Amino acid sequence: MTHNKQLTDVLMPQLAESLVSATIGKWLKQPGDRIEQYEPICEVITDKVNAEIPATVDGIMGEHVAEEGQTIAVGQIICKIVVESSNESTVVNAPIHTESLATTASTSEGQSMRSRYSPAVQSLAAEHQLNLNDIKGTGMGGRITRKDVLAHVDNLSSGNGDTKSSSQALEHVSATSPFKGMTHTNPAVTPAQYVENASSTERNSGMHLTETPQIPNNNIQAQQGRSETLIDITPVRNTIATRMRQSVSEIPHAWTMIEVDVTNLVLLRNKLKDEFKRNEGYNLTYLAFLLKAVVNAIKDYPIMNSVWAVDKIIVKRDINIALAVGTEDTVMTPVIQRADQKNIAGLAREIEELATKTRQGKLKLDDMQGGTFTVNNTGSFGSVLSYPIINYPQAAILTFESIVKKPVVINDMIAVRSMANLCLSLDHRILDGVICGRFLQRVKENLEGYTLDTKLY
């Protein structure tokens, strides 16, 4: 039996049910590069998220059919991969980069690949907090493959492997951490996340800033002889621009605001936050309480959970809350599916997971589908008033502004209370001032109704 080269077509996959095309963002493998199965070969950009397309076979990159920046329909060929074939009849006589292949083959033979890790292997090792030196490679030259890492993970989870990795993880917990020496209650949380951020401060507004504000790095290159700087529009920025233009041009926006006394909420959250983080491994934020209040208000006023459909208004049955999560250069709106079926602790978990995935660029298309009402926590960066643009085609969007201590008149006496603004933009084709005013009043009642006896579970 003889071995020959065969070209295998790689097609644009159906990444989501509603997806019909995607744009090639960046090729991660060039012609002549060796590829392992499941190793990412390119980044693609959809109108919702970025994703990586993995190789379906082992082989060598043959040629790129699609170029970077080109939009390809689902099912069309994006590249060809050269694979070994034992069937002589399947040989395809196609132009491939034989020089590159020969170079790759000659340099790989007899050379130890033990210390060379693919991006897929590195990503898996980081995800499971593994030391790659502890894993035996079965690939060419002792190289560690994705299968080796997964087998090692299975071995550890079954109790047959050593516990070195987990022990090392515990050792990284700070000596000042309240979790030092404790078994992780949430294996999905890294030890670093258990450590309180020493630089975090509590502002007078009552909101926590858990991250040091970052200065955006735009990698702007000076251009000789020009008095301005030109920045190329990325596909994601172009999508945001298109969606925002569509929203403001098609939806007649109106806007309203209400002020809420959240003093009891601040006391409740301060009472529970430390124990909650100790038990669950992530922060209990004000946003979880707000989402619960909004969801319960939508139950009373379901028209808020609707879309405009030319000749009818469609009221959605499921309440899927989209969260606006910003990064340095973009904003995403991952969705909490069926938020009406979750308690405050469940909403806090969803917020943590979606925000983390957004900032790490790990959102999948399923995370972005089906939003029916959007909430934006603009107060997290100190805003006290904002005019949000509706997340098309939803009927409304609500922002939760910063909590600020203010003098308030109660029973003809002045008291210092923790106050916050709620701002609502509405589609005036669907909603009017009366229904939105009542909705905001119900959210206000729900927020002010929290007491020290409120249960999280």
Q: Is 212 a member of any domain?
A: no
363 within domain boundaries: yes
Determine the pLDDT at residue 55: 85
Note the helical H segments in 172-285: 191-194, 235-250, 263-280
The residue from 84, 114, 132 where one domain ends is 84
Catalytic residue among 184, 208, 253, 428: 428
Give the Cα separation of 117 and 132 in Å (integer): 9
Is the CB of residue 432 less than 8 Å from the CB of residue 422? no
The residue among 68, 84, 100 that closes a domain is 84
CATH number for the domain that contains residue 32: 2.40.50.100
Q: Which of these is catalytic: 128, 152, 432, 453?
A: 432
So what's the pLDDT on residue 334?
93
What is the residue type of 216? P
Please give the pLDDT value at position 68.
84
pLDDT at 140: 61
Q: What was the pLDDT predicted at 2?
A: 54
Within-domain flag for 218: no
Residue-level pLDDT at 219: 55
Two structure tokens written together for 170 = 């515990």
Residue 12: the pLDDT is 87
Last residue of a domain, one of 84, 103, 130: 84
Supply the CATH number for residue 320's domain: 3.30.559.10
Q: Is residue 456 part of a domain?
A: no
- Is residue 230, in this structure, part of any structural domain at all? no
Which H/E stretch holds residue 331?
Answer: strand 331-332
Which pLDDT value is given to residue 113?
53
* Tokens (6 digits) for 348: 């806090």
Q: Cα torsion for 409, 412, 413, 415, to the nearest 10°?
A: -20
| Maximal C-alpha separation, the chain | 96
- Domain of residue 256, residue span: 252-449
> pTM for the complete prediction?
0.63
The string of DSSP codes covering 393-427 is: TBSEEEEE---EEEEEEETTEEEEEEEEEEEEEEE
Q: Does residue 174 belong to any structural domain of this protein?
A: no
- Quick one: angle between helices 433-448 and 263-280, nearest 10? 60
Residue 217: what pLDDT? 56
Residue 131 lies in a domain: no
Q: Identify the segments of the chain with pLDDT beneath 70.
A: 1-3, 16-18, 47-49, 85-123, 139-141, 143, 158-226
Residue 432 is a catalytic residue? yes
Domains held by the chain: number? 2
Position 260 scores a pLDDT of: 97
Written as six digits, the tokens of 217 are 């790095």
Residue 153's pLDDT is 81
Beta bridge partners of 258: 422
Phi and psi at residue 191, to the nearest 5°:
-55, -35
Is 108 within a domain? no
Q: Considering only CA atoms, which of 16, 13, 10, 12 is closest in space to residue 49? A: 16
428 belongs to the catalytic site = yes
| Confidence at residue 197, expressed as pLDDT on a 0 to 100 scale | 40
